[in-house]
Structure 1
Amino acid sequence: MMKFWLLALLWLLTACDDFTQATIAVDCGHFNNQGLQVSVNSQPLSTCPATVPAGATQLKVSARKELADGSYLYAEQEVTVTAMQVQVRLEPTSVFTEEYYYRKATDVYGFMAYQKHYPDGARLRDLRIQFSEEFANVYTYAPNLMMVQIPAGSFMMGCSEGDTECEENEKPQHSVTLKGFKLSQTEITLEQYYKFAEETQREIDQPRGSEHRTDPVVNVTYPDAVAYTTWLSKKLGQKFFLPSEAQWEYAARAGSTTRYSWGNTADCSQASFDGGPQSKCSLTLKNGDELNLKAVGRYPANTFGLQDMHGSVWEWVQDCRNDSYDQAPTDGSPWLAGNCKWRMSRGGAWNMDSGYMRSSLRAYGAPNRALYHQGFRVASY
């Protein structure tokens, strides 16, 4: 019996030794062949995809690539080797460093982003001195307004391939090329609208229970939204405007070709919408209470860094109503021909199902009608 156990132990030790001779096949998905450096237990070995020796049975496999803007791509995974060939798939994501935010601090919004992410940053003092006047204006007239730079590019606007819910006004899908612009990170909030309403003697009419300063302002007509951009332009000394439909959809898609910026299905962790009676984000909870507006910025940002593009509240855009994309502009400009008795609105809302918050869905409304699920966000160059 003792001999049997000794042989079993010897076999086990031999098997473990064999696993140290195993190989690890590392895949980085759509970042393959993009120069990511693969490391195993902190030892750089090759670029991704790669097949590398394990050398041990407990591993930390990682991939990293430094980018010119000061950020880097990174992914890691801990692996227990239990076979002679092991497949590892890494999903690199962007890591934004202090250097990245410092380089982006070329205007007051870049400064605010640096301050938000690095409140004890080494260069914060210098930036505060440089942008003190502009920051004071933003803080006074539109507190916490963050403008996100949207890169120039091209995209296919309209009905996503394979989307069976598309309306006729989402067709035909067509190519649009846009220059870079800026878009507010979230919808305009109650605190950002308050000073404008006070100075222009406009009434603020938020639903009961939705009076928090960071809730999106609602019951805003199209003329109200346009007037706000004019007012804000004068106060902050730069041109603000409502985005065009093309700018809005390009920013919402953020490089995606799917129904939503994250994929083809939606759940309650991704956006504010009515998921139906069996959903955690059902409009009506089991106790009979109704969900209402939620503060902006509660859900993950898309690839461009924008939040609440899907769900939350409908957002006014400049364009007039057209029932198809025939002869639509292809340069990202607003479509101001057509039936301008109606103005377009995008993004869906907290009290509607996920189909209404598809990237390509187009809605329209009477410009002078104020709705409790209608808001807006602002753009600039």
Structure 2
Amino acid sequence: MTFVSIPAGVFYMGAMHHDPAASPDEWPRHEVQIADAYALSTTLVTRGAFAAFVAATSYHVPPGCWTLTEAGWNFSARATWRNPGFEQTDAHPVVCVSRADALSFLHWAGVRDQTSYRLPSEAEWDHAARLDGAAPWHTPAQICDYGNVNDLTAKNKVAKVAEPCEDGFLFTSPVAHFRAGPYGLYDMIGNVWEWTEDCAHDDYTQAPVDGSAARRPHCTTYVLRGHSWTDAPGPVRLETRLFLDGTERQSLVGFRVAKENATDAEAGPGAP
């Protein structure tokens, strides 16, 4: 895996109060100070990488995954990460993986690479997705330059709402197919929603302000960020959050890797 170093810094997290597209869970906008640099994998974990993990460990992911078709969202008892209901190659992001599946992969990969891997905190993800608080695109039509979203390719096929651009993919796309974001990270918007370390919380009222993950005893529901090829649950915005039971598997959910040690990672284009 290739990593990019994300510099420490202070930034504002959450939606502006006057944002008409914001949801209550995106408020209040608050200052976060990340004291130390960290690293994120440049791409989402691919199906090929997950297949190597399964082959090496005999890890079993039971069948059953929520999938989106022309008929809408349905639970398929037969769908798996190997066959999520649409065609993928090993270069596509792995989907239909629960949070526990992701953590099992991270433990195995960490032992293999003699380091410690984890999921990013929500704040770390947010900080890495933008530069100086801004999204990398300036108009909705530019979103397709940066990610695989619910665009005109999908219109009238699996969704009724589409972004005013075309990325050429109906379902997932190969990782790193689109332009990288400000720090050299791919697919920070679109392709698949990404598991984070944070326990879901109704809003940011008591959110950590040091970049760490929000935790709660006996947590079962977690925060995902980044949107997907479906754009659910609304227009593409970097602030949008999705809450999901940690045991669920969906064909629009995957993950990327974080680690504490940023010294052996490349400096991103947006780094000082």
* TM-score, L = length of structure 1: 0.56
2:155 paired residue number = 282
Aligned alpha-carbon RMSD (Å): 2.3
For residues 213 and 375 of structure 1, the distance between their equivalents in structure 2, rounded to whole angstroms, comes to 14
Counterpart of 1:296 (choices 160, 168, 175) is: 175
Taking a change above 3 Å as real, the CA distance of residues 376 and 151 of structure 1, as seen in their structure-2 partners, is same
Q: What is the Cα deviation at residue 146 of structure 1?
A: 1.3
Match of 1:137 in 2: none
1:183 counterpart (40, 48, 53): 40
Q: CA deviation at 1:340?
A: 1.6
Aligned to 2:109: 232
Q: 2:239 aligns with which of 360, 364, 371?
A: 360
More helix by share: 1
Judge conservation of contact 1:348–1:356 (CA < 8 Å) in 2. no
TM-score (norm 2): 0.77
Taking a change above 3 Å as real, the CA distance of residues 256 and 296 of structure 1, as seen in their structure-2 partners, is same
Q: Is the 8 A contact 1:268 1:281 kept in 2?
A: no
1:301-316 counterparts in 2 under 5 A? 301-316=180-195
Alpha-carbon separation, structure 1, partners of 2:29 and 2:175: 30
Alignment partner, residue 42 of structure 1: none
Gaps of 5+ in 2: 62-80, 159-168, 261-272
**Structure 1 runs of 4+ with >4 Å offset:** none
Q: Counterpart of 1:269?
A: 145
Q: Percent identity?
A: 32
Structure 1 position 320, deviation (Å): 0.7
Q: 1 CA distance for matches of 2:16 and 2:187?
A: 20
Aligned 1:96-175 pairs, distance under 5 A: 145-160=1-16, 163-175=19-31
Letter in 2 for 1:316: W
Q: What residue ranges of structure 1 are gaps of 5+ in the alignment?
A: 1-144
What letter corresponds to residue 163 of structure 1 in structure 2?
D
Work out the CA distance in 1 between the residues paired with 2:235 and 2:50. Answer: 26
Give the aligned length: 229
Q: Is the 8 A contact 2:17 2:28 kept in 1?
A: no
* TM-fit CA distance, 1:209: 4.1
- How many angstroms does 1:154 deviate by? 1.0
Q: CA deviation at 1:296?
A: 0.7
> Aligned equivalents of 2:239 and 2:219: distance in 1?
20
State the distance in 1 between where 2:113 and 2:208 align: 30
Q: Whole-Å Cα distance in 2 between the matches of residues 182 and 380 of structure 1?
A: 5
Following the alignment from structure 1 to structure 2, what is the Cα–Cα distance between the partners of residues 369 and 348?
17
Q: How far did residue 325 of structure 1 move?
A: 0.6
